[in-house]
Amino acid sequence: MSDENNPPPTLNYSPSDRAQGGRLVGQAIAGAVTTTVVLMVIVAFILGMWTQSKAAGIVVGIGVLAGVALLGVKATASAAYHGWGIGIWIGLGITILIEGTCFIAMR
């Protein structure tokens, strides 16, 4: 009967850490910029390879895409590199948008 009069215990959530949020945003921006620049250079290399061997360009392109996706999944799953993972996915999307626009414009 005494349990009915006592309020339930409060949940002990940790307070938000603004420094951690800033670190996450910084990692995401750095990851997006880095991924976009690196992938743009790799795509230019693949396009150069494409003129010599289309099969090699396709294989290298699929390999790079699989590698970036695996890196993005691993980084996003990690607590320490979660911001980098978000940035990798954003950078991949930006690169695909830029390259797709260039492809359509050059057609």
Q: What is the pLDDT of residues 7-29, one digit of tens each?
A: 887 776 665 666 667 889 999 99
40, 98 Cβ separation under 8 angstroms: yes
* Residue 28 · residue 81 · CB < 8 Å: no
Ordered by start, the domain boundaries in the chain are 20-106
* Residue found under tokens 């993972």: 85
Quick check: 56 pLDDT over 90? Answer: no
Rounded to whole angstroms, the Cα distance separating 103 from 107 reads 6
Measured CA to CA, the distance from residue 28 to residue 21 in angstroms comes to: 11
Determine how many CB atoms are found less than 10 A away from the CB of residue 81.
Answer: 17
**Global pTM value:** 0.76
